[in-house]
């Protein structure tokens, strides 16, 4: 009963289970419930925060995945990814672990001073490709469409040249109204820039999110004390980010379609320091990648090894080869399909 209840409603608390069992005439402790669930491979975890996806968003993301499923790696190497981000002076990335004795938690050496609203912040626009980081600039005023077009005019083409992008390179930005404004589209068209069609509500598909995370961690380690220093350190750390990935971090993506309950989803799991679920031979044949190869892009590549169909259960699994990206140490759920989206058809996949 315990496992069945938790599987049906993962937000059930141990107290709820104790009360339910007590009403059924069985007395158990919370510790017993924890041990029972642990033996079944279940543990209490914080629910992940993911973009709210409406059915239209889900369909757009699936369409994007279908259209790019067979794209060769070379195509993704020719994409310039871009985005904006806010970096706080004393943000959450300033968290530190300290060695201290009992009852010494409030000693100044063991504390981090906090201020309201992060002590100020700066807004940045940046871009990068498989060949490394492009330009990074500070946006000093509230950005509007005209300012965004000026940023692209001054920085996009110089970034492409510095990165030595191949002819026909593609530009990616999300569906922010400033990005999709008619004037912005016309400006990009006049400059003959190819733009990657992007599904809404999909920040997790953009590998630059991993780059922002890396930048924020690096900046926090430098402990800037004012906005001027924050900007300077951001620029310095951005310039230090290499195109070569850190091989100690890997990501593995698995798509699972289950016909018996009509639920389906794209999932990603990042494993630190090893390749989960792979044999030693498979690890030796692991596909090398570059900086751009985030969890989002692995979703689009068919595995050269694992693609099978279980005729008895109706399960179909596509496992993409792990890849090193050297950036974010945590990855988010790529596509969370809620019950309202369970009617979405994947027959074309």
- Degrees (nearest 5) of the Cα angle 126, 130, 132? 55
Measuring CA to CA, which residue among 304, 307, 320, 343 is closest to residue 266?
320
Q: Over the stretch 157-205, which tens digit does the pLDDT of each residue have?
A: 999 999 999 999 999 999 999 999 999 999 999 999 999 999 988 888 8
Q: Over the stretch 302-321, which tens digit does the pLDDT of each residue have?
A: 222 223 333 334 433 333 33
> Which residue in the block uniquely carries the two structure tokens 């279908």?
66
The pLDDT value recorded for residue 244 is 58
pLDDT exceeds 60 at position 103: yes
Measuring CA to CA, which residue among 10, 325, 329, 57 is closest to residue 202?
57
Q: Over the stretch 237-278, which tens digit does the pLDDT of each residue have?
A: 999 988 754 433 333 333 333 323 333 334 333 323 323 333
Give the separation between CA 171 and CA 195, rounded to whole angstroms: 5
pLDDT band at 118 (very low <50, low <70, confident <90, very high): low
> Which residue in the block uniquely carries the two structure tokens 């504390």?
111
Give the separation between CA 201 and CA 248, rounded to whole angstroms: 30
Cβ count within 10 A of residue 186: 11
CB 257 within 8 A of CB 315: yes
Which residue segments constitute the domains of the chain, with CATH numbers given?
2-39 (no CATH), 78-240 (3.30.420.10), 249-341 (no CATH)
CB 325 within 8 A of CB 42: no
pLDDT above 90: percentage of residues in the chain: 31
Look over the chain and give the mean of its residue pLDDT values, rounded to a whole number: 71
Cβ count within 10 A of residue 172: 20
Measuring CA to CA, which residue among 282, 216, 211 is closest to residue 245?
211
The pLDDT value recorded for residue 117 is 57
């Amino acid at each position: 009963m315990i496992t069945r209840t938790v599987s049906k409603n993962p937000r059930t608390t141990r107290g709820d289970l104790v009360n339910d069992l007590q009403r059924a005439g069985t007395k158990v402790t919370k510790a017993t419930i924890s041990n029972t669930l642990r033996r079944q491979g279940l543990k209490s975890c914080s629910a992940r925060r993911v973009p709210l996806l409406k059915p239209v968003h889900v369909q757009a993301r699936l369409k994007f995945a279908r259209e790019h499923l067979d794209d060769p790696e070379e195509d993704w190497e020719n994409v310039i990814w871009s985005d904006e981000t806010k970096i706080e002076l004393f943000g959450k990335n300033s968290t530190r672990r300290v060695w201290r004795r009992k009852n010494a938690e409030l000693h100044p050496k063991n504390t981090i001073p906090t201020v309201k609203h992060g002590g100020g912040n700066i807004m940045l626009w940046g871009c990068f490709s498989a060949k490394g980081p492009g330009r990074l600039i500070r946006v000093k005023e509230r950005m509007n469409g005209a300012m965004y077009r000026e940023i692209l005019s001054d920085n996009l083409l110089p970034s492409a040249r510095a990165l030595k992008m191949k002819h026909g390179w593609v530009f990616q930005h999300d569906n922010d109204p400033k990005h999709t404004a008619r004037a912005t589209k016309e400006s990009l068209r006049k400059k003959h820039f190819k733009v990657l069609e992007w599904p809404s509500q999909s920040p997790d598909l953009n590998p630059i999110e991993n780059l922002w995370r890396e930048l924020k961690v690096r900046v926090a380690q430098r402990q800037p004390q004012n906005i001027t220093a924050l900007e300077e350190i951001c620029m310095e750390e951005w310039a230090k980010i290499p195109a070569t990935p850190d091989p100690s971090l890997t990501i593995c993506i698995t798509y699972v379609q289950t016909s018996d309950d009509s639920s389906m989803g794209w999932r990603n799991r990042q494993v630190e320091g090893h390749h989960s679920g792979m044999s030693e031979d498979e690890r030796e044949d692991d596909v090398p990648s570059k900086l751009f190869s985030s969890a989002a892009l692995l979703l689009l590549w068919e595995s050269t090894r694992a693609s099978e169909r279980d005729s008895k259960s109706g399960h179909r699994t596509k496992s993409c080869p792990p890849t090193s990206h050297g950036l974010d140490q945590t990855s988010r759920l790529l596509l969370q399909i809620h019950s309202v989206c369970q009617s979405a058809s994947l027959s074309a996949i």
